[in-house]
Amino acid sequence: MQVDASIFKAYDIRGIVGKTLNESVAEHIGRAFGTEAKALGQKAVIVGRDGRLSGPAMVAALTKGLRATGIDVVDIGMVTTPMTYYVAATRGQYGANNCIMVTGSHNPKDYNGFKMVLNGAAVFGEQIQGLLRRIQAEDYAAVGKSGKGRLGKMDIQAEYLARIVSDCKLARPMKVVVDSGNGIPGASAPAILRALGCEVIDIYSKVDGDFPNHHPDPSKLENLEDLKKIVHATDAELGLAFDGDGDRLGIVTKDGKVIMPDRQLMVLVKDILSRNKGAQIIYDVKCTQRLAPWIKKHGGRPLMWKTGHSLAKAKLKETGAPIAGELSGHIFFSERWYGFDDAMYTAARMLEILSREKDPSKLLNGLPDSVNTPELNVPCAEGEHHAVVAKLLEVAEFPNAKEVITIDGLRVEYADGFGLIRASNTTPVLVLRFEGHTQEALDRIQAEVMAQLARVKPDATFQAGH
């Protein structure tokens, strides 16, 4: 089978429909994944999809491939990625601790892809390359005596809503604005928030794979402008924004401040540590320098880890930590939840805490903060970004730094901020981020780190990241 190897990424499979990804590829992915599931004694795979226009055709082809290996398929229809994870996490006793979510996540509308869980663990890295090799060799399980797998359908909306509402209790009703950006969360998030006791003003809730209003990516500040305006113009207390497939959350305060996910994590961590003294708290290398002291202050043990939602999930499982979070917006709870990233559940937990406050925006705006850049990308030739980081590790000198952390690229720690250079796991770019306790500190740190990068890559120029 000839397939474009570039679609097999670090954490998922993702390509442009009609160019690098088509129904034939989807069917082969189904056959490869079904073969792996069968080898582990699994019986069924849960399949969901987001609101993209190519979704139905991709699901049909994927399902055909899965069933060809003798694996049963449970189609749960148009749902968020976390809902698909939820079904797999709660159906292990039926040999259905596996799922594939057909989603393009926050990518442009002509993309689609596959996020996968096999036997309760996220499929990433070498396992994804293993699926590619299996497809190239067409090394698939043959259908046994029982014939091809069966196909069933399930509506999970009511069960998922009830599970969140039974877990998260608001101290008082809150009025919130919700922007789903015409992504799949629009079909469920407003109803769940109302069931929690919120008064909800919802915008762009109609699921539309053309994304006519703005792109469903709350990590891009321009996508939050409409939400800010409506929160400001009404008596709502807070604005919530979901990404295209519902695993990342944006938060806007009454006065239009965006609370980045590493600061969202502060609120959640303080609450969790009140019940779990001494617990380890996991966060990625992009997060603010203000986070580790906050974790220690509230009785926790900070653990900085590599960037990547699959890597965070695996580390959460390995350490037994109650929560992990990433600057990108993926937040994972194992306390009271199942260890996967779920923006709807994160929103519910956040509202549970903020509903105890008379002025939630005051609490959020009062969290420790620094001056920082957005994520910056330095474009590289294919494979060059890893070579640049390796060379930097060899030759870079930071005499004014306190420490250089090398778990994922270089995070150069200063007394008053940090600089980060790491190789992206998904595209051929260097990912840079700078933070200072003051603008002067930020400028100084950025200049020092960029001077070292210029030694290794003199033509480095950066642009706003994704």
pLDDT in tens, 82-95: 999 999 999 999 99
* DSSP codes, 200-224: EEEES-S--TT--SS-S-TTSGGGG
Both structure tokens of 126: 């070498």
- Distances from the Cα of 146 to the Cαs of 68, 69, 93, 150, 232, in angstroms? 11, 11, 21, 10, 60
Tens digit of each residue's pLDDT (9 = 90 or more) over 88-144: 999 999 999 999 999 999 889 999 999 999 999 999 999 999 999 999 999 999 887
| Mean per-residue pLDDT, 411-430 | 95
Q: At what angle do helices 126-137 and 23-39 cross, to 10 degrees?
A: 110
On whether the CB atoms of residues 417 and 368 are closer than 8 A, the answer is no
Pairing of strands 280-284, 323-325: parallel
List domains and CATH numbers for the chain: 5-155 (3.40.120.10), 175-257 (3.40.120.10), 261-361 (3.40.120.10), 371-464 (3.30.310.50)
Q: What is the pLDDT at residue 102? A: 98
Strand duo 323-325 + 331-333: pairing? antiparallel
The answer on pLDDT for 318 being more than 70 is: yes
pLDDT at 462: 78
Kindly report, residue by residue over 194-227, the tens digit of the pLDDT. 999 999 999 999 999 999 999 999 999 999 999 9
β-strand pairing of 99-102 with 44-49: parallel
Bridge partner list, 255 = none
- Report the distance separating Cα 288 and Cα 323, nearest Å: 17
CA–CA dist 25, 210 (Å, integer): 23
The residues annotated with a catalytic role in the active site are 105
CA terminus-to-terminus distance, the chain: 32
Confidence of residue 465 (pLDDT cuts 50, 70, 90): low
Cα gap 301→110, rounded to integer Å: 42
Helices and strands, number each (H, E), in the chain: 14, 23
pLDDT of residue 466 exceeding 70, the answer is no
